[in-house]
Structure 1
């Protein structure tokens, strides 16, 4: 009878723990646990700690106090405490708890080590991570799929693909997660050939693997390849998720593939997929960069919730279309909505003011960024301000801004401002100032644009000897000019053209290009498009 009563009490206490919704409820359940004689019950204590790990309702400090009063914590309790500190991103505490576990003679299990490995990955402490890897080898847990995958993630986080490949090859069994992490890791460091090799060799391709490869292409500016891979995905039964759609919309935006972008929008409507803030932002960015600012603004106005990235996309869209007044008005609406701008917001605003010839307004925005929002100007901000002032013919003021760039900045960061200054000097025919800027750029970087701009300036001023000298100097220093590149979308297929290529198009192909251009000049806005999944 006593045993039945004890079992009932234990069950009631555990049910009470499961029903906790805030710290007040937890404290009541905590008292009930101890008054019922369950103060040493490892499962009950682990449930108390687990609730404290909840970022919404729990309290890590309360969990730590509770943990310190447990005389002999079990491995399960240690694991719960490790998980709690990791969920709160208290990485040093995570390592401390693990150290305490070893000091008390406890042997970690296959649930313990992934928590520690994840902490090492977030801290990007490669030395500590390698020590943990050694411990995993010593305890024989590398063969465990969760430990192995955690180690692969850790090495990928520190861009050590050699270490990641070693763990991957040593794992006796692999999951879809293993392949996905390797693809993402190689794409992150720009090794797209290796990423594609892993993609092609993956025994099973789920949505995550497709998404990792498509995202890898887009993040490395291989937009056409990412778009083509999405076409291949259409042959499978796998339905794209939000992340894949965002990547594809980004590719459409950079390629100017409006037809495909409209098809994606129509596809989203057919799937009845809710337009999240992230998806809506992708559509807004795509429409703005493809020249359909009215469609972008229509989507923006329909949104019930907007984050900083969404506001930035719309302001940037107005900036690239030269609507400085509209961009500033939108910024005022953003402030009224109590959405805090970031450094990207101000880059978009400076660009808008620069394209619209609004130097005074741009400098007021610069002052507001520094004084009201306490945002430290970066090289991009200085470059935009220099461009803003130089376009307005305020060259002395622009030079003063360049001199304000911190001396600790990297040469490439300082070069951004000098390039903007040089370009404006060339546009205004300021040969002497252009030579000063060019000389500074020769010291900071090795870029063909400096030679070309200065050569063109000399040629326009009738100084053909100086123009030839600049071209010869460029050739003697082994600086090569990157060829120009353009693209056009024909029948939902994007074709790229590189300056200097010897192509012999047929007359019907030329006619097709002309018809496509005409169609875009008189675009009707219809969204009835078929998405071709063949490679043209």
Structure 2
């Protein structure tokens, strides 16, 4: 290689933007390296850089290469995957096969990730077959990505089979499988796997903690966090976010404050994600002042952060503040999403702001092109029902698109039923209950209707509804409540007798009753 050629390749490594790359590319062609595979692979790698390159330019260059090597093809496959162009990732893979090239242990994981993102398990199975034929199934990258692909596509049986077939399971394999079972809702199997895992690094612990939290097992998530503290491992940002989410849903303010102090003590930077989790926890636990302080001190914000702050003040019934925040968000150049509108509509519902709520609801589709979901309709119906505008509320419910799922429709009808029962609008309540019973098998509608009849003195009707409920085999879901005492969350289910301090609790309640009677 001549000195000029070497200089061109050195210049290529120093390029900072596409203009410099094109100039260097011209020099490479002049120096006689225009068809050199190494030089071409470096140029394509630069083009695929999301911050500096141009993938479209890289693709045009690739199409001019007569005989691309495996390295060059892998560079393009990786580029399309990281760009989110999953269909083109698959097309590039097919083009590589058509050129007579066999995929290697770099190609297959990229293509399998594209299959996972497309939820295309059928194509993923074909890639699986290719990995077996090529003898690559035993490769750690291919095996782990196959587990990931099947897990994301919801095929946990195949994911487990691959896991059992690979010769050794590293921490990544255990993490992917545990996360897969948790995301499918099978936290019990996920926990069994966690207990069996010979390697429990921070990521494995995090997958189990987040798995519990994602499945609304908040108490178990906190317990798992406490177990992790008995090890030498320090939590990372993702684990703190999961644990703060659990605190927010349980109302465990004391634990949340302790975690905030712990974060500061081990000097973890408060990025957008962790700050948002803290804001959400404080707001949900009733300390809106501290949530707002953290929010105001943030140097950078995103839509999720704005949503957390708006939701927090909404839940405290601060409708005007929520609307003001929504206005500030729009002025700051952030585009609200469906969660933003749900938070604002909830604020309108809690604060009885009917006119403002209807204006915001209409702006969803008219201004932002967002199709309202069942939860949005439910909020609107709720504040209309609270205001006694039942006919308008019914019209809103009937506007729900026919393409909406039964569960989405049921949410809105349930809101109408709740409002009707509160105001004893018997006829409309019966209509709403009938719609709910047709859409889902849930005890809530029966209980509400039965209680409404009983409150109105219509005991025969109340009995009729209870009997109907029994005939259809619908069982009442037991109520559940939780309370935090000295940093521990205690959960109580209606009718249970298993709590360790149940006798003491009953004795105290009896004393309280006697005191009240006296």
Normalising TM by the smaller chain, what interval?
Answer: over 0.9
Correspondence 1:355-370 to 2 at 5 A? 355-370=350-365
Correspondence 1:22-171 to 2 at 5 A? 22-171=17-166
| 8 Å CA contact 2:206, 2:238 repeated in 1 | yes
* 1:213 and 2:211 are equivalent in the alignment: no
SS at match of 1:249: helix
Alignment correspondent of 1:262: 257
Deviation at 1:498, TM superposition (A): 1.3
Deviations 1:285-307 (A, max 9, x none): 11111111111111111112211
SS at match of 1:365: helix
Alignment correspondent of 2:283: 288
Deviation at 1:449, TM superposition (A): 1.0
Deviation at 1:380, TM superposition (A): 1.3
SS at match of 1:489: strand
Alignment correspondent of 2:217: 222
Alignment correspondent of 2:315: 320
**Structure 1: which 5+ residue stretches go unaligned?**
1-5, 515-536
SS at match of 2:169: coil
SS at match of 1:169: helix
SS at match of 2:233: coil
Q: Following the alignment from structure 1 to structure 2, what is the Cα–Cα distance between the partners of residues 98 and 367?
A: 45
Q: Following the alignment from structure 1 to structure 2, what is the Cα–Cα distance between the partners of residues 425 and 81?
A: 60
Deviations 1:329-358 (A, max 9, x none): 111111111111111111111111111111
Q: Following the alignment from structure 1 to structure 2, what is the Cα–Cα distance between the partners of residues 509 and 435?
A: 39
Number of residue equivalences: 508
Q: Following the alignment from structure 2 to structure 1, what is the Cα–Cα distance between the partners of residues 85 and 468?
A: 56
Correspondence 1:417-496 to 2 at 5 A? 417-496=412-491
Moved more, 112-121 or 503-512: 503-512
Alignment correspondent of 2:198: 203
SS at match of 2:484: strand
| 8 Å CA contact 2:170, 2:199 repeated in 1 | no
Indicate how the Cα distance of structure 1 residues 289 and 509 shifts in structure 2: closer, same or farther if over 3 A, else same.
farther
Alignment correspondent of 1:231: 226
**TM-score after normalising by structure 2:** 0.95
Deviation at 1:401, TM superposition (A): 0.5
Q: Following the alignment from structure 1 to structure 2, what is the Cα–Cα distance between the partners of residues 197 and 18?
A: 49
**Structure 2: which 5+ residue stretches go unaligned?**
512-518
SS at match of 1:110: coil
Deviation at 1:507, TM superposition (A): 4.6
How well do the aligned residues superpose, as a CA RMSD in angstroms? Answer: 1.7
**TM-score after normalising by structure 1:** 0.92
Deviation at 1:510, TM superposition (A): 7.5
Indicate how the Cα distance of structure 1 residues 93 and 508 shifts in structure 2: closer, same or farther if over 3 A, else same.
closer
Deviation at 1:390, TM superposition (A): 0.8
Q: Following the alignment from structure 1 to structure 2, what is the Cα–Cα distance between the partners of residues 98 and 477?
A: 54
Deviation at 1:196, TM superposition (A): 1.1
Alignment correspondent of 2:235: 240
Alignment correspondent of 1:500: 495
Deviations 1:239-291 (A, max 9, x none): 11111000000000111111110000001111121111111111111111111
Q: Following the alignment from structure 2 to structure 1, what is the Cα–Cα distance between the partners of residues 438 and 89?
A: 47
Q: Following the alignment from structure 1 to structure 2, what is the Cα–Cα distance between the partners of residues 44 and 401?
A: 63
From 165, 174, 185, the equivalent of 1:190 is 185
SS at match of 2:355: helix
Deviations 1:209-235 (A, max 9, x none): 011000000000011111001001111
Q: Following the alignment from structure 1 to structure 2, what is the Cα–Cα distance between the partners of residues 245 and 283?
A: 9
* 1:17 and 2:36 are equivalent in the alignment: no
Q: Following the alignment from structure 1 to structure 2, what is the Cα–Cα distance between the partners of residues 204 and 11?
A: 46
